[in-house]
Amino acid sequence: MKNYLNLLFVFAIVGLAACGSEPKPTFNFSCGSLLTEAELKPFEVKKEPKYLPIEFKLLGKLSLAIFDANNRIKSYNVQFFENTRERLVVQVYGIWEPVEMDKAACAVLNFPDYQLPDETLVIFYRNEKTDPKMHIVAGVRKQ
């Protein structure tokens, strides 16, 4: 009986340890390719964006496209990490469910109103942008 209790105790400890170390989920985006963890590293830093007036128009349109793609539910924030002629990095805070991320990524990567740069990335964060720690869920690049 004592051996049985010890064995049960060991299984409980192993089970709790396994639950605590949740593996990072992988997603298959229908409109782009998944970024690796190494490619996501630069986006773990906080950056206060400074926008030109023309950038507000694009930011608003991309935010509206994500809003429409996700059944007009507004529970997220959008900002640019970088916006140049060569590269656009869109940060989406507050969307982390796979279906919502896929819809949001497709809305950005297939955006018809502007010619987006060839290197367009969308990075998804579980938390709000005001959180002290960045919780990147996934990132996708334009194919």
Whether residue 65 has pLDDT greater than 60: yes
Q: Check: CB of residue 139 under 8 Å from CB of residue 34.
A: yes
The region that residue 64 occupies, defined by phi over 0 for left and psi between -120 and 50 for alpha, beta otherwise, is: alpha
pLDDT of residue 62: 96
The structure's pTM equals: 0.78
Q: Check: CB of residue 87 under 8 Å from CB of residue 139.
A: no
pLDDT of residue 33: 95
pLDDT of residue 12: 43
What token pair was written down for 21?
């170390």
Which of 3-7, 19-23, 56-60, 91-95 bottoms out in mean pLDDT, i.e. has the lowest? 19-23
Q: How far apart (Å, rounded) are the C-alpha atoms in residues 67 and 40?
A: 24
Residue 3 three-state SS: helix
SS percent in the chain: helix, strand, coil, step 5: 40, 20, 40
pLDDT (tens digit per residue) in 23-57: 445 668 999 999 999 999 999 888 888 898 889 99
pLDDT of residue 21: 38
